[in-house]
Every structure is written in structure tokens, then in C-alpha cells.
A = this chain, B = another copy of it.
Amino acid sequence: MSLNRLSTLFLPSVENQLCDIIDKAAGENGRAQEMRTMLRYHLGLDDPSADASQRGKRIRPLILLLVTSAAGGDWKTGLPAAASVELIHNFSLIHDDIQDHSQLRRGRPTVWVKWGESQAINAGDAMFTLAQDVLLDLQDHVPAEVVLRASRVLQRACLALTQGQFLDLSYESRNDLDVEDYWPMVNGKTAALLSACTEIGALISETEIEICRAYRRFGRNLGLAFQALDDLLGIWGDAALTGKSTESDLLTGKKSLPVLYAIGENGAFARRWVQGPISVDEVAQLADQLKAEGAHEFTQACALDLTERSLTALEAAKPTGEAGVALRQLAEKLLSRHA
């Protein structure tokens, strides 16, 4: 299968690129060695035997390199950008974990739990800087104007990321929300960086502007569809419903799409929701209630519509070669999870 073959071909180079750039964190005289250790730990680079569950799936660099190749470029050209988007994603996770007081990330204690909040804020800042720095390495193989265009796309995605995070944090204390409040948040938190991956991948291949735009739409809708599906699984997925109710999004108070839909409808679920945290015992019954109020159907319809838009945009981008086949496989894999 093309996706497996190309993942196996691309990802070791991404890991090498990540290791090289992270080594810069130690500084000239190595005094900041421990900062390098923190960044390697967060990325799962400290353990050679670590698999994707500890390292993260590197979906963003993979998609970027697949697009570069499918749009007619040499995937190796895209490696600095691939490392950059992975570092952006991970810088935001380091800060998210502090903001959400999350104890665990990929099954291990989070950076702030191990090194304290102050050092974790700073480690995130260092990773953000390294993401900006490595992107500039594109200029070894790509014209300077193209590098600047890629950097602009990245900055817009980062700003959208902070806007999405701002909304997410501000929603915590609000119950006057509905589905209209959902899209700007997930657009920032999930879709903006994915659309930057696909757009930068295409920019690097120096293909025509219409193709770049189609890849951007592909990434954006892929991100939105993925998130809608994730929200569906977070309430009605096997792990959330059967046996492991503790994994239900209903317990964390997450303002997911089904929940925002039901809050907007202002029925029995909404009345229960505003009364405060939901207990494990209530999870199954409230998931049923949500379904009865139409939240499952609505979310599924959104996910389907976005999936179609995503695949239509991918076809409009006319992806070529084995990477083109792999991109279709990846999109189908990400979007065919069921609940």
C-alpha cells in the first residue's frame, strides 16, 4: 500500500531532521543541555524504541511531504517545513497541557509535571522558535520568495492556533454558546495548521496557484471533518460508551460539536449541562439523551459534508503518482472512523 510504503520512507528522515534541530536547543556551550532534554522528551526522541503512541503520529509532516511529492516536487525539499509544522504542533501541545492542567500526554507525564510550569512555558517558546528557524532551511533548495510565502502561511496558521485556543479557554466559563461558536474554534485549533501543511507542501513544489489553493481547501476541510468525527467518537465511540466511560468527552466538559448543538437546542440535555460536571454514572444515559435530541445525526451530517468537501478539493488538486494515491488513502483512513 502506497501510504505505508511512503510513511516508512519519509518519516525516518523527519525524525532525523527533528533531532538535528532540537540539538540546537542546547546552545553553544551546552549549558542549556537540560532544555534540549525537555524538548526531546516531549517529542519522544529520548527513547529509540518509542513508537507512534509515545512520539505522536507525525501526521502533519507526513501530509506535507505527500503533498510536495503529489504536486510534482521532490519530497526531500520539504523536510525543513515538515519538521517545522511538527514543532509548531508540539509547542502548542506543551502550552495546552499547562493551560488544561493535563497530567499525561501520550501515556507519559507532561513536561510541566516533570519540570514545572515556568520551565515548560519556556520550553514551548524554545520549540516555537526552533520551528521558525528550521523553516528557513528551505532556502537551500527553494527560491527565497517561496520561503517567505511559506513563512507567511505558517504565521497565519500560528495566529489562528492562538485565536482558536483563546476561544477554547474563553468558552470554559460560558454556557451561552451554540454550533456557530464551534467552527471558529476548531478552525483555529485543528484546521488552520493542517491547511498550512497542505498549502506549504504545494508551495514548495512550485506548482500553480490554483493547485495550492485546492490543497489548502483539502487540508482545511480534512481538519474540520477529522475534528467533527473525533467529537462523535468522543461521546459515542466504543471507548467512550462501552466499559471505559471515563474516556467520554461528556466527563471533561469539552465543548464539542454535539454538546454545542444540544446547548443551542436548549432541551433536556442543555438543562442538565448547565448544572455542572457530569458523573461517570450519567454518561451512558446522557449520550442517549443527546442522540434523541438530534446531536448525533447533526454531527454525523457535518462530518460527512466536510469529508466530501475535503475529497472534492483533493481531486481538484490533481495529486499525481504514488504520493497522490497515498494522500487519498490517508484521507480515507482519517475520515472513515465510525461511531
Contacts and interface: CB of A to CB of B under 8 A. Distances in A.
A119 interface: yes
A155 to B, nearest CB: 4
Interface string A114-146: 000111011111101110110010010001110
Interface string A289-322: 0000000000000000000000000000000000
A209 to B, nearest CB: 18
B25 A119 contact: no
Nearest to A185: B31
A148 B152 contact: no
Given A121-B99, A155-B129, A166 B136 contact: no
A182 to B, nearest CB: 12
Nearest to A133: B155
Given A98-B118, A121-B99, A166 B32 contact: yes
Interface in A157-172: 158-163, 165-167, 169-170
Contacts of A32: 163, 166-167
Given A132-B151, A144-B144, A152-B136, A159 B126 contact: yes
A256 to B, nearest CB: 18
B148 A136 contact: yes
A253 interface: no
Given A121-B95, A144-B148, A126 B35 contact: no
Given A121-B98, A132-B132, A25 B148 contact: no
A264 interface: no
B118 A25 contact: no
A133 B154 CA distance: 9
Contacts of A27: 159-160, 163, 184
Contacts of A152: 133, 136
A156 B133 contact: yes
Contact of A166 (B119, B133, B161): B119
Given A136-B151, A144-B148, A152-B136, A25 B159 contact: yes
A29 B170 CA distance: 16
B125 A95 contact: yes
A287 B223 CA distance: 60
Contacts of A121: 95, 98-99, 121
Interface of A: 24-25, 27, 29, 31-32, 34-35, 92, 95, 98-99, 117-119, 121-126, 128-130, 132-133, 136, 139, 143-145, 147-148, 151-152, 155-156, 158-163, 165-167, 169-170, 184
Given A35-B162, A123-B162, 19 more contacts: A27-B163, A29-B184, A32-B167, A34-B166, A95-B121, A98-B117, A99-B117, A118-B169, A119-B166, A119-B170, A124-B125, A125-B158, A126-B159, A126-B163, A129-B162, A133-B159, A139-B148, A143-B144, A144-B144
30 contacts: A25-B162, A25-B163, A27-B163, A27-B184, A31-B163, A34-B170, A35-B163, A92-B125, A95-B122, A98-B121, A99-B121, A99-B122, A117-B117, A118-B169, A119-B166, A119-B169, A119-B170, A121-B121, A122-B162, A122-B165, A125-B128, A126-B163, A128-B128, A129-B161, A130-B159, A133-B156, A136-B148, A136-B151, A144-B145, A148-B148
